[in-house]
Structure 1
Amino acid sequence: MNSTTIAAALNDSKKPLTKQELIAANIKLLIEQLEAGKSDALTNYLTAMSRFHRYSFGNVLEIARQMPTATRVAGFWTWKNLGRSVNAGAKGIRILAPIVGLRRKKDTDATTDASKQNERALLGFRNTYVFDISQTNGVDLPSLNEVSGDPGENIELLAAFVKGKGIQLIYNEKIAPALGMSYGGRIAILPGQSKAEEFATLVHETAHELLHKAERRTSTTKTTRELEAEAVAFVVGKAVGLVNGNASSDYIQLYQGNASLLAESLEVIQQTSAVILAALETPNGDPQEEQQPADSELEEAA
């Protein structure tokens, strides 16, 4: 099955795929695109991670596949509530939304307390559709907080997050020519870098601390670990408005077509980027558990 056939199958499927099926199909499609010389495919996926870090891994892949240029998505009625309307004839971006309901406990577990007789549970997933802001019209929305070429206070927020994790952060000229070093519980940054470089370096080394100081260190190669950390820096840098170089298509070659290894790697990149970005969005640098959105079309927990 070639990439065109895979994409068509994903688009034509009426029955909701499981999260695992969705991820597997997208990873296979990504491998075939890159093997065919479409080196921008990986960049599209990583850029989508930077824009939609609250979304699940599978739904990030779906958004990137269906509309690589998407920047801000929401359901039909969410856009209505924001004073914008979906353009006539606009094709929605299909994602998975969770179905949450009450699951009745067994009679033996029931009590006279009605609040304890049933419990909310994830019952499954359904297909739903979101639309990019470019597919809508109406009132202007407030600009997203983006900084072009300057991370601003994000360096301080990330430093606070790192220290909150019990990781020592120092600046040391002796690590040159390296821009940064991760030692497991300690990060060293080369002083004198531009703010953008310093931020990207700190994200890279933070990714190493979060990803590669436990069992993952022994299950991956040094090259893979470096590329995973660089991918996290790409995603986070994109999210705060920094100008990034293009992601290298060489990344895919490390996996030699092994879809499961690639899926695992991309998923930890997405999860680690989301943790760091959540910290940057919280004033004290300590990401709190977010409330689920009222509009299930945004399904960010799926």
Structure 2
Amino acid sequence: MKKTAKVNELYKQLKTGVEEFYSSDRWKEFLTVQARFHQYSFRNVLLIYMQCPHATRVAGFEDWKKFGRHVKRGETAIKILGPKHRREVDEKTGEENWVLNGFYQASVFDISQTGGEELPSLSYELSKDTPTLRRFYEMAKAISPAPIQEVTLKGSMKGSYNYTTQTISIKKGMAALQKCKTLIHEIAHAMLHTETDKPRELREVEAEGTAFVVLNYFGFDTSEYSFSYVAGWNGSAEHISKAGEAIQKAAVKLIDDLEAILNEKESAA
């Protein structure tokens, strides 16, 4: 099968896989729990980010108990603004209403500051680790357009591309398949998104879609992770269609670069 045809086939497989994931029990369970988390105002989102940049899921001390989790001893609370309300009675109608009457300082905690029962997750870390995958990781590092560092990352983050310093960070201690997929994901960001005003969800669909196509082209299946990841970033059929051209072009370029390294190794053998 020609390279472009195989890339196109894998792209279609991504679309189908994400569509099927949306009808799965795992997706429904995730939405049920997610709906119980507070939606914070823009001002509070900024406050949370300033105090805990790696925050992903935030809730109050008592709310975490409802989820079967507890705040770890010694953790510092994230301070946000909680609304205060007072009851008012309409003199004409006699109806009672609650109106905003200022704010108070409230304390919340990120999931990384808690322990206890696991919450439903969309994506579970890939665990496969073989010498072939470790060699593939080194090949992927060699074609990266940005410097790579392996670091300790907090929370659920497995990798990142810093648009300011143009560097890639990969979480230490992951299995080789997860490292390979994460690295190709971040390389895709470095290739596609250095000068773009695309919305975050589209960028993530493009990067993860590229990682899925490239890894699966070389025989490393990441569907267990990639389908749910794309779904979590609103990877609807519309979004995946918009991302299609970018995914296919980036995937072909990366596959060409990786095959060039393989050919060099074969020639030298």
Normalised TM-score (structure 1)? 0.40
Larger Rg: 2
Normalised TM-score (structure 2)? 0.45
